[in-house]
């Protein structure tokens, strides 16, 4: 799953301004009735920062010696086209790196959140109706690490 849906996507200052201006124009035109835009300062998120080798050489723990690789982390989803009916959704995303599951997530909770999100997104991908139905208990069990579904075929 791309960054930006549930985890902030790396974002430059220019990209953030573009998103805010776009949303402003659409809202002013009364063409968007709902949405969310949240930008944050990169702190220790592994996909928004990198290890500062100089700080590590000075004795700082690598888990804390991080510097930003993006100006912001951004989650932006807002509806467009509402003046003509249901409309659609505009989302700011960036592709997740191939190694996201392994080297980018040192914190187990983040890894599990991404794993759960990917599992939920995969339900029904193959058109199999059995995969389109999942109980709340299965979701809770999966979130707690007790349920390992078979991989979608």
pLDDT in tens, 90-130: 999 998 876 665 444 455 555 566 666 666 666 655 555 55
Q: How far is CA 57 from the centre of its chain?
A: 32
Would you say 80 and 90 are in contact if contact means Cβ atoms under 8 Å apart?
A: yes
Confidence of residue 22 (pLDDT cuts 50, 70, 90): very high
Q: Check pLDDT > 60 for residue 151.
A: no
40: enclosing H helix or E strand: strand 35-40
Would you say 93 and 8 are in contact if contact means Cβ atoms under 8 Å apart?
A: no
Whose tokens are 């029904």? That residue is 124
- pLDDT value at residue 102: 46
Q: Does pTM surpass 0.85?
A: no
Q: What is the pLDDT averaged over residues 135-140?
A: 66
Whose tokens are 């930006």? That residue is 4
Q: What is the pLDDT averaged over residues 144-152?
A: 53
Q: Pick 69 or 121 by higher pLDDT.
A: 69
Structure-token pair, residue 20: 């805010």
Q: Check pLDDT > 50 for residue 153.
A: no
- pLDDT value at residue 93: 93
SS3 60: coil
Q: Which of 109, 146, 100, 119 is nearest to 3 (CA)?
A: 100
Q: Mean pLDDT of all residues in the chain?
A: 78
- pLDDT value at residue 6: 81
CA separation, residue 101 to residues 73, 91, 98, 123 (Å) = 18, 22, 8, 19
Tens-digit pLDDT profile for residues 35-65: 999 999 987 777 888 888 998 999 988 777 8
For residue 17, how many other CB atoms are within 10 A of its CB? Answer: 10
First to last CA, the chain: 17
């Amino acid at each position: 799953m791309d960054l930006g849906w549930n985890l902030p996507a790396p974002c430059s200052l220019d990209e953030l301004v573009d998103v805010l201006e776009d949303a402003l124009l659409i809202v002013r035109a009364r063409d968007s009735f709902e949405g969310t835009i949240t930008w944050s300062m990169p702190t220790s998120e592994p996909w928004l920062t990198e290890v500062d080798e100089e700080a590590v050489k000075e004795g700082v723990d690598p888990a804390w010696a991080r510097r930003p690789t993006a100006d912001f982390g951004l989650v932006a989803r807002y509806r467009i086209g509402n003046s003509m009916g249901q409309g659609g959704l505009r989302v700011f995303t960036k592709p997740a790196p191939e190694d996201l599951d392994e080297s980018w997530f040192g914190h187990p909770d983040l890894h599990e959140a991404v794993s759960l999100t990917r599992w939920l997104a995969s339900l029904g991908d193959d058109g199999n109706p059995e995969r389109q139905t999942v109980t709340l208990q299965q979701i809770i069990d999966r979130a707690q690490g007790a349920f390992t579904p078979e991989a979608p075929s």
